[in-house]
Structure formats: C-alpha cells, structure tokens
Amino acid sequence: VDVPPSLHYLSAIRGCLQKALGRPDLYRLSRRAVELVRYIWTIMTKFSDLALSPKIMKAVEAAGYETPTPIQAGAIPPALQGRDVLGIAQTGTGKTASFTLPMIHMLARGRARARMPRSLVLCPTRELAAQVAENFDTYAANVKLTKALLIGGVSFKEQDILIDRGV
C-alpha cells in the first residue's frame, strides 16, 4: 500500500505490531486499517462533516481550523458514537482535539449533577496537561462547561477552590 506522508504513522504501527507479535498475517489487517483511514480522510475533508454541535463548530472555526487531520477524522466519529478509541500519531497532528472535541460535545449534551465531575483527563506531564486545558477552553468557549487544571508542584489552594466550586 502506498501510504501518503500524512499517514506514515500507520506504517510505523504496522511494523511495530508485526515485530512485537511476530505475526506477518497482521499485514493484511493493518493494510485494511490504512485503507479505512484513507477512505475516511477522502470523504471527511471538513470539520463540518464530523457531526459536532454547532457551538463547538463555531469555536473550531474561530480557532481557524477547517480540515481535520487524519487522526481527527478517524477518531472523532467513533468517539461521538461512544466507542473506545485508541489513536497513535506524531506530535502536532491534532491528537488533543481528537478526544477533547467529542468529550466537549458529549458533556454539553448531558446534564451535570451538583458539583460532580463528569470527565477526567490524566496527563504524564504538566505541559501536556496545560495543553489539554487550553484546548478545552478554546473548543468549549461557546458551551457552559467548567474545568480545573490540577497539577503537582504548585499551591493546591487555588486548585482546591476550583474543585469546591464544582467542575
């Protein structure tokens, strides 16, 4: 399969799976995955094709995005259906938006219970946690949702106030 540069991460995944499991028959499976992502990429060329709510779409457009990356086109639709998604992609390909956009969409549709958290995102570094929080603020600008960024190494007083307020 001739994989375009934007999908090279799929070739890397295929190679890792084959080596790790010693199963060359995975080639056919991963080849189908490449074809599926390529198909999704060709039919979903705009964020408006991803069935996100109009308020989220307004925020996406305000952020200057029109075309989803392959990881976004492949992850957002099944996430909106409530399916589990595992995505692997290079830095800068839009992985954070791949899970924050569907999360915001689903949270905005549901009802919040008094001061009870409805979602939790765990990140391995402060920098990534800050990036996720920033993305959440950007994409949830037009919906009534709150969030708290909780990180170690800083005063917990402000973080505790956010939690007490309800996020």
Residues 47-89 pLDDT 10s: 888 889 999 999 999 999 888 888 888 888 889 888 888 888 8
Q: Please report, to the nearest 10 degrees, the dihedral formed by the alpha carbons of residues 131, 136, 139, 144 taken in order.
A: -160
What's the one-letter identity of residue 101? Answer: L
For the cut 80, the answer to whether the pLDDT of residue 24 exceeds it is: no
Query: CA-CA distances (angstroms) from residue 117 to 54, 89, 145, 163, 167?
Result: 24, 29, 11, 9, 6
DSSP string, 12-63: HHHHHHHHHHT-TTHHHHHHHHHHHHHHHHHH--SGGGG---HHHHHHHHHT
What's the one-letter identity of residue 50? Answer: L
Pick from 104, 114, 115: nearest CA to 166 = 115
Radius of gyration in angstroms for the set of CA atoms belonging to the chain, rounded to a whole number = 18
Is pTM beyond 0.85? Reply is no
Give 31's contacts (C-beta < 8 A, 6+ positions apart). Answer: 1, 14
Q: Which two tokens stand for residue 98?
A: 């791949």
Q: List pLDDT tens digits, range 96-126.
A: 999 999 999 999 987 767 667 778 888 999 9
Cβ distance 39 to 56 under 8 Å?
no
